[in-house]
Structure 1
Amino acid sequence: MKLIILDRDGVINQDSPDYIKSPDEWHAIPGSLQAIARLHQAGWTVAIASNQSGLARGLFDISALTAIHLKLRKELAQLSGAVDSIFVCPHGPEDGCLCRKPLPGLFHDIARRYDVDLRDVPTVGDSLRDIQAGATAGCRPWLVQTGNGPKTLKQGNLPANTQVVQDLAEAVEKILTHAQ
């Protein structure tokens, strides 16, 4: 199985310091949906691992989150693409859960769901916590320069072997080229 794990906000869609609370606020980053469609068409399993503390903060509810993900799936379907699964951490930063990135809980859930070893599975994120969670789980981390990527790169302290690219489209191009 060819598996890739993507963060959502800042990688697939524009991020907001005020959170993405409704489908109207969800806007794909140019080229990101086409990149996911390429992965899907090449036979990859595409999973999303996303912290969604807006749920715990009461900024939106599960119905709104479901509607956001439905919009994502519909826009992908128009490009002959698909996401196979979406894993979210609904907790706030102080909730003490194991699924909130930078902890690797969501990644372990994905590994169990697909019964795979995450060693060298590519994971793409825009924040240090995304990259750390993936690296801790054994994934091969990719940092995009969309969303929080520029700030993350400036901070430094990236896990070893983190690949830095402009956006999801460039990451997918390199991943697909390397996988052949």
Structure 2
Amino acid sequence: MKRFVLIDRDGTINVEKHYLSDPDQLELYPGVGRAIRRLNRLGLGVAVVTNQSGIARGYFDLERLDQIHDRLYTLLEAEGAMVDGLYLCPHGPADDCTCRKPLPGMVEQAVADHHFDPAQAFMIGDKEVDVELGHAVGAVSILVRTGHGPKFVEGTKADHVVDDLPQAVAVIEKLLACASSS
């Protein structure tokens, strides 16, 4: 069974923009493509899990979000990186849904699509809701200091805190090496 890495989008993969709604404004953090390519080469699945309440708030629609994600895929592919799936919650914070992080709906959908054990997964994000989602599904949680990360470092319940996605991948690689040698 393939292990998976669940990665938040805004503030983790791409530079945080307040309700990113223009594909041309999507900008990857340095080293992100290389880091995801490394996960691919390690044989790990990669799923993006992202809250997108801008849809519920009327800032943009699903068609515009698809354009943003097409650009994300294009930028990653240009660096030889790929994701196995992208899962989103289009609801607002007050909506009664099971998919908005930290609830596990997006991970449950990813599990249904890719048949992996979420308790063997890794969750990387820049907010405490990402950490909470990781813990809710039994995954190892990694908080990055990009995006909103600096606000959550103090008092985080994350298993690991690192500067960015490339450092998170380095932690995962070390954890996998330790597990295989024991």
Same fold (TM over 0.5): yes
How much is the aligned-residue C-alpha RMSD, in angstroms? Answer: 1.2
Q: After TM superposition, give the deviation of residue 113 of structure 1 in Å.
A: 1.8
Q: After TM superposition, give the deviation of residue 133 of structure 1 in Å.
A: 1.1
1:167 matched to 2:180? The reply is no
Q: Deviations over 1:103-135 (max 9, x none)?
A: 122112222222222113111010011110111
CA contact (8 A) 2:3 2:116 kept: no
With normalisation by structure 1, the TM-score equals 0.93
Matches within 5 A, 1:18-167: 18-154=18-154, 156=155, 158-159=156-157, 162-167=159-164
With normalisation by structure 2, the TM-score equals 0.92
Question: How far, CA to CA, are the matches of 1:162 and 1:147 in structure 2?
Answer: 18
1:178 matched to 2:175? The reply is yes
Q: Deviations over 1:58-116 (max 9, x none)?
A: 11111111111111111111111101100000001111101001212211222222222
The alignment partner of 1:87 has SS state of strand
Question: How far, CA to CA, are the matches of 1:137 and 1:67 in structure 2?
Answer: 30
CA contact (8 A) 1:102 1:133 kept: yes
Q: Which runs of 4+ in 1 moved over 3 A?
A: none
The alignment partner of 2:147 has SS state of coil
CA contact (8 A) 1:41 1:80 kept: no
Segments of 5+ residues of structure 2 without an aligned counterpart are: 178-182
Q: After TM superposition, give the deviation of residue 47 of structure 1 in Å.
A: 0.2
Question: How far, CA to CA, are the matches of 1:148 and 1:58 in structure 2?
Answer: 23
CA contact (8 A) 1:4 1:123 kept: yes
Q: After TM superposition, give the deviation of residue 178 of structure 1 in Å.
A: 2.6
Question: How far, CA to CA, are the matches of 1:86 and 1:76 in structure 2?
Answer: 13
CA contact (8 A) 1:52 1:90 kept: yes
Question: How far, CA to CA, are the matches of 1:6 and 1:111 in structure 2?
Answer: 14
Question: How far, CA to CA, are the matches of 1:38 and 1:116 in structure 2?
Answer: 19
CA contact (8 A) 2:3 2:117 kept: no
Q: After TM superposition, give the deviation of residue 41 of structure 1 in Å.
A: 2.4
The alignment partner of 2:120 has SS state of coil
Q: After TM superposition, give the deviation of residue 177 of structure 1 in Å.
A: 3.0
Question: How far, CA to CA, are the matches of 2:7 and 2:42 in structure 1?
Answer: 16
Q: After TM superposition, give the deviation of residue 148 of structure 1 in Å.
A: 0.7
The alignment partner of 1:27 has SS state of coil
* Equivalent AA in structure 2 for residue 136 of structure 1: A
Match of 2:180 in 1: none
Q: Which moved more, 1:30-39 or 1:49-58?
A: 30-39
Question: Identity of paired residues, percent?
Answer: 39
CA contact (8 A) 2:4 2:120 kept: no
